Amino acid sequence: MLNIFPKLSEIPQELIVEKSIEQGSSLINGELVRLDTDSQDVCSPIAINHGGELKPVRLGSHPLMNHEIAGEILASSISAMRSEVWKSKSIDYRASCIEEFIHELAKYKDEIVRLLMWESCKPMAEAISEFDRTIEYIRLTIDAYREMYSGSETQYSNGFAGKIVNSPVGVVLAMGPSNYPLYETYSLALPALLTGNSVIMKVPRYGALLHSSIINLMQGAFPAGAINVIYGKNEETINPIMQTGNIDMLAYMGSNMFAEPIIQSHPRPYKLKKLLGLDAKNPAIVLHDADIEETAKELALGALAFNGQRCAAIKIIFAHSSIYNELMEVLRREIESEKIGMPWDSDVRITPIFDRNRILYLKTLMEDALSKGAINYTNGGGTVLHTIFIPSLLGNITPNMRIYSEEQFGPIVPVVKYEDLDETIEYVSNSDFGQQISIFGKDEKVIADLARAYYLQCGRVNINTKCQRGPDIFPFTGKKFSGAGELSVTSTLREFTLRGVIAGKDNSITNGVLGMI
């Protein structure tokens, strides 16, 4: 089975790693500063098969900054915020700097897609889509910004005249997750920059090397201090700068486990503005009249795309008892036919997992569930082959099993049999999470009634389709422990902006002043 891992001769020629990336510098106060701090070696989760023996592939290294360098970065960001270098520039100036940057970034598509495959093991089609989506997201954001913020009309009320004005929040710390190291990092950092904030961007733990060319581009694209880049461990870099109380906003996509200590490090956490995308345990509810074949296909895609390493993945399925057996049979077939392989193999969905600790956690969840009566429906499901976790369909799931309420973030598909829809409403109400839910069925009245009940608890209700963030014009939100604030090409801009007003009694001086604003 370890033959899943390729021989050198089986790797497409254009994807072979010929030269490692030794990222020894970072963008600090407008310069690419070489750092003599510790560094982190980066190896691919993909190993090469040398006559049956697996050999690691070293991809390169990046700096591990310490708190002193993080402190210099913070000082640079504060100084940029207090000066006129970025925030006071016109909307058009900032928009054209970012447009130019995006134009240059587009030239690095092949390199970044290749690194997404080697470092994150993202299937090629999804890596290409992540790159294209990032570029598109920023282009749409720039268009929306020009439309939304290019001057407001004077408003009159009760003898007053006033104009709404917008200002940046201040120093924004932007942190993307390891599963979307490009899209979710830059769909936070660039809108924050566009709206005039000083941005400190933290490179995610996995998927770090692809930022190497990007920060080189940033150095030429933005004035000193407008954006600085941190590499390293949160305890050494992020928590110390939070402790100063000088970070005004945290824009963060990832898990509660890491977000909480960051927020708690701030001396006045209530003062910190937050835009958060956090953990999720998105359920799919399969009604008695669902089209089983179509539903099973969508469930497998929703649960297993990119090994289920998506915050918006379907993480638990509730199947009505009348269709439970049939659904399990079709789902088993779907899951067992999932193609397992390397990111460049066509139609592959299951690839090596980038975080080794996740594999141990998945095994623990499996063992816990099986010891409490869960049934493993899939042949070989849960087997670990080096960094590959064979997808498992687990039936007979009950509330006392950890996988019932904990987010697996990996290729385990747990299914609960229900009799009454109230059981699903109760699950959603009692869950700590409230990102999304999917309903599969045909009866419009039943689906509408359920959607009304669920949307009070979740950020999005999906009808006969998997949970997902896109299209990016829709708000992506999470209730309860799944998030705070709202992401989309338009709403992210509002999150990074503070609204104010310039107003006076409705007379000629006030109107004269407002005419000049």
Residues contributing to the site for ligand G3H (CB under 6 A): 179-180, 310-312, 468-470
Which pairs from 256-264 meet CB under 8 Å and 24+ separation? 256/481, 258/234, 261/234, 262/175, 262/234, 262/238
C-beta closer to ligand G3H: residue 166 or 255: 255
Distance, in Å, from the CA atom of 36 to the CA atom of 47, rounded to the nearest integer, reads 30
Tell me the one-letter amino acid at 312: A
Task: Supply the minimum distance, in Å, between the C-beta of residue 181 and ligand G3H.
Answer: 11
C-beta closer to ligand G3H: residue 61 or 179: 179
Task: Supply the minimum distance, in Å, between the C-beta of residue 472 and ligand G3H.
Answer: 9
C-beta closer to ligand G3H: residue 86 or 481: 481
What angle separates helix 211-221 from helix 91-105, to the nearest 10 degrees?
140
| Neighbouring-strand partners of residue 438 | 284, 462
Tell me the one-letter amino acid at 77: S
**Which residues lie closer than 8 Å to 157 by C-beta, 6 or more apart?**
none
Task: Supply the minimum distance, in Å, between the C-beta of residue 26 and ligand G3H.
Answer: 25
Residues 269/263, Cβ–Cβ less than 8 Å: yes
Would you tell me how many other CB atoms lie within 10 Å of the CB of residue 158? Answer: 5
C-beta closer to ligand G3H: residue 80 or 303: 303
C-beta closer to ligand G3H: residue 120 or 265: 120
The residue number with the shortest CB distance to ligand G3H is 469
Task: Supply the minimum distance, in Å, between the C-beta of residue 284 and ligand G3H.
Answer: 14
Task: Supply the minimum distance, in Å, between the C-beta of residue 312 and ligand G3H.
Answer: 3
Distance, in Å, from the CA atom of 215 to the CA atom of 200, rounded to the nearest integer, reads 12
Task: Supply the minimum distance, in Å, between the C-beta of residue 277 and ligand G3H.
Answer: 7
Residues 177-202 as b or e (16 or more Cβ within 10 Å = b): bbbbbbbbbbbbbbbbbbbbbbbbbb
Task: Supply the minimum distance, in Å, between the C-beta of residue 6 and ligand G3H.
Answer: 26
| Neighbouring-strand partners of residue 47 | 56
C-beta closer to ligand G3H: residue 311 or 327: 311
C-beta closer to ligand G3H: residue 180 or 344: 180
